[in-house]
């Protein structure tokens, strides 16, 4: 079973700062998805990356997939309180998603 | 419907009681998944349906857990003789396909508390 490790587990920063969170795997990803989950809600898909070295941008969020497809990062520029939430990476296999434990991000006004 | 609907949102059960959790997926989505999320953790896979066929139930923690999707739409997750360790949020998700670029749409979950 593929193991996904996310770091840091918790991150609390001030509004306007930049941050990066990481997702590492014990084996190669077929494809990787990032989700954001807010309290009391289910995870919401942000992006899917498939190709090694791929970079995708979603407004202030930049997602990078490692060349060897065993790691990924999420960089947020000028964080806002609305970015607060649990960020989950997930390995997408043939039939199911395997999630990491998440990074709990808090942006303080 | 527009999204995945789960009911009830909250359930408190006495230890030993049976519970049934319902999931209404997005209309036309053939794939349906159940996940269990403990406090402060990522979701963990329980089981997967393609239409009415349960193709993977490897994540069900014990034979007290049972899921069905008899007509290929609504699904029910049943937990018999609940134990305190069953307390968690149970998430349902659906997807229109299985390719690399297909994402899952999750419901808001059912928070189960066993007392």
Query: Over its length of 109 residues, how does chain A's per-residue pLDDT go in tens digits?
Result: 778 999 999 999 999 999 999 999 988 988 999 999 999 999 999 999 999 999 999 999 999 999 999 999 999 999 999 999 999 999 987 778 999 999 999 999 9
What is the structure's pLDDT at A95? 78
d(CA B65, CA A15): 44
Query: Given pLDDT bands bounded at 50, 70 and 90, which one contains residue B1?
Result: low
Domain residue ranges in chain B:
5-110
Confirm whether A2 is domain-assigned: no
Domain that holds residue A50: 17-93
Q: Which CATH number fits domain B5-110: 3.90.550.10, 2.40.50.140, 2.60.40.10, 2.30.40.10?
A: 2.60.40.10
What torsion, rounded to 10 degrees, do the Cα atoms A90, B93, B76, B28 define? Answer: -140
Percent of chain B scoring above 90 in pLDDT: 90
Residues of A in contact with B97 (CB under 8 A): none
Nearest CA in chain B to A33: B103
Neighbours of B26 (CB within 10 A): 18
Sequence-distant (≥ 6) Cβ neighbours of residue A26 within 8 angstroms: A2, A3
Mean pLDDT along residues B1-29: 95
Q: What is the pLDDT of residues B41-95, one digit of tens each?
A: 999 999 999 999 999 999 999 999 999 999 999 999 999 999 999 999 999 999 9
Chain B interface residues (partner A, CB cutoff 8 A): 4, 33, 35, 40-45, 48, 55-56, 91, 93, 98, 100-101, 103-109
State how many domains chain A has: 1
The size of the A-B interface in CB pairs under 8 A is 59
In DSSP terms, which residues pair with A43 in a beta bridge?
A: none
| CATH number, domain with residue A42 | 2.60.40.10
What residues of B are in contact with residue A42 (Cβ under 8 Å)? 4, 91, 93, 106-109
CA dihedral over B76, B94, B4, A2, signed as positive or negative? positive
Contact A69, A28 (CB under 8 A): yes
The pLDDT of B3-20, averaged and rounded, is 98
Chain B contact for A44 (CB, 8 A cutoff):
yes
Residue among A42, A88, A104 minimizing CB distance to B108: A42
């Amino acid at each position: 079973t593929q193991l996904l490790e996310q770091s840091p587990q918790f991150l609390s920063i001030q509004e306007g700062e930049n941050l990066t969170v990481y997702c590492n795997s014990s084996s190669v990803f077929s494809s990787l998805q990032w989700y954001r989950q807010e309290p009391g809600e289910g995870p919401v898909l942000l992006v899917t990356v498939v190709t090694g070295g791929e970079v995708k941008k979603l407004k202030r969020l930049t997602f990078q997939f490692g060349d060897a497809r065993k790691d990924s990062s999420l960089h947020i520029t000028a964080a806002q309180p609305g970015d607060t939430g649990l960020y989950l990476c997930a390995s997408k296999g043939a039939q199911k998603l395997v999630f990491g434990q998440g990074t709990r991000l808090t942006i303080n006004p | 419907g527009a999204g995945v609907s789960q009911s009830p949102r909250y359930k408190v059960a006495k230890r030993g009681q049976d519970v049934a959790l319902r999931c209404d997926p997005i209309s036309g989505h053939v794939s349906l998944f159940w996940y269990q999320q403990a406090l402060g953790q990522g979701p963990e896979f329980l089981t997967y349906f393609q239409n009415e066929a349960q193709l993977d139930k490897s994540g069900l923690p014990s034979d007290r857990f049972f899921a069905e999707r008899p007509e290929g739409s609504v699904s029910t997750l049943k937990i018999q003789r609940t134990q305190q360790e069953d307390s968690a949020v149970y998430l349902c998700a659906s997807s229109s396909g299985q390719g690399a670029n297909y994402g899952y749409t999750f419901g808001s979950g059912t928070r189960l508390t066993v007392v």
